[in-house]
């Protein structure tokens, strides 16, 4: 709202001479004194006129304030739209503000104080202290009883046996896997040896191997002949 009486943003200036046009139009309608009846009991005509004038003035101000509020709400909506604020954001903000108002309200503070006092009274009462002491005694007796100790020992032994059994199973599985791996390697080596022993005679009887032996023999004979001739 412009302080100089302008209306650049659509707001209504309360200082404007044009405020409350609707209320003025309604108050300008002549009222017949005879039609509105006699003055209420205990009031003179002058007092009645004064109250009616004051009532008209209040109604005029109410109408003006409603127009100002509507203009402000429109302006607020435009600002939220430009800022990208959604109705959900406004709802969250309103809820947060409402909760904060509740927390700082006198009723909430008094209720919290009362609950704190009640809690102190309950925890310091003889009944509460007696019940707590009784529960502690029962817990101590239970943990020191023979049945409880035997149960603890049984569970501990069962846990140890279970761990030992799992460890043994793991050792057996590891040993079995090692045996299987060693057997596989041994089998592979024996197969290679058998294949090698089988393939050697066949290779010696082949034509290629015989031709290679003949050539080697010819080379040996030539070397010997040359050696004898030199002597």
What is the C-alpha to C-alpha distance for residues 184 and 192, in angstroms, rounded to an integer? 12
- pLDDT score recorded for residue 228: 52
For the chain, give every domain's residue range: 47-104, 153-183
- pLDDT score recorded for residue 4: 42
Q: What is the pLDDT tens value at each position of the chain, 231 positions in all? A: 444 444 444 455 555 545 444 444 444 444 554 445 566 778 899 999 999 999 999 999 999 999 999 999 999 999 999 999 888 888 888 899 899 899 888 888 889 888 988 888 888 888 888 888 889 888 888 888 888 888 988 898 888 888 888 888 888 888 888 888 777 776 666 655 555 555 556 666 677 777 777 777 787 777 776 665 555
Q: CB of 74 within 8 A of CB of 10?
A: yes
- pLDDT score recorded for residue 5: 40
- pLDDT score recorded for residue 227: 62
| Helices and strands, number each (H, E), in the chain | 7, 0
- pLDDT score recorded for residue 193: 55
- pLDDT score recorded for residue 56: 97
* CA distances (Å), origin 123, targets 75, 80, 114, 116, 163: 56, 51, 14, 11, 46
Q: CB of 52 within 8 A of CB of 59?
A: no
What is the C-alpha to C-alpha distance for residues 72 and 167, in angstroms, rounded to an integer? 80
- pLDDT score recorded for residue 53: 96
**Contacts for 209 with CB less than 8 Å, ≥ 6 apart:** 203
Within 13 Å of residue 224, how many CA atoms lie on the same side as its CB? 6
**Contacts for 7 with CB less than 8 Å, ≥ 6 apart:** 13, 16
Q: CB of 73 within 8 A of CB of 81?
A: no
């Amino acid at each position: 709202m412009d302080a100089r009486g302008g209306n650049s943003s659509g707001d209504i200036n309360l200082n404007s001479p044009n405020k409350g046009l609707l209320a003025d139009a309604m108050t300008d309608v002549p009222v017949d004194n005879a039609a509105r009846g006699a003055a209420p009991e205990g009031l003179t005509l002058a007092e009645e006129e004064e109250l009616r004038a004051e009532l008209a003035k209040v109604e005029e101000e109410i109408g003006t304030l409603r127009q100002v509020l509507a203009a402000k709400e429109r302006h607020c909506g435009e600002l939220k739209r430009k800022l990208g604020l959604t109705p959900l954001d406004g709802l969250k903000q309103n809820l947060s503000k409402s909760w904060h108002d509740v927390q700082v309200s006198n009723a909430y503070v008094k209720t919290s104080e009362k609950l704190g006092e009640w809690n102190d009274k309950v925890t310091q009462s003889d009944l509460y202290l007696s019940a707590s002491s009784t529960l502690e005694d029962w817990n101590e007796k239970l943990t020191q009883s023979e049945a409880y100790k035997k149960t603890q020992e049984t569970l501990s032994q069962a846990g140890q046996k279970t761990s030992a059994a799992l460890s043994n199973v793991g050792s057996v599985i590891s040993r079995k896997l090692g045996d299987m791996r060693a057997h596989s390697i041994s089998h592979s080596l024996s197969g290679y040896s058998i294949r090698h022993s089988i393939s050697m005679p066949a290779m010696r009887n082949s034509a290629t191997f015989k031709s290679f032996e003949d050539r080697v023999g010819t080379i040996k004979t030539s070397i010997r002949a040359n050696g004898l001739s030199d002597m």
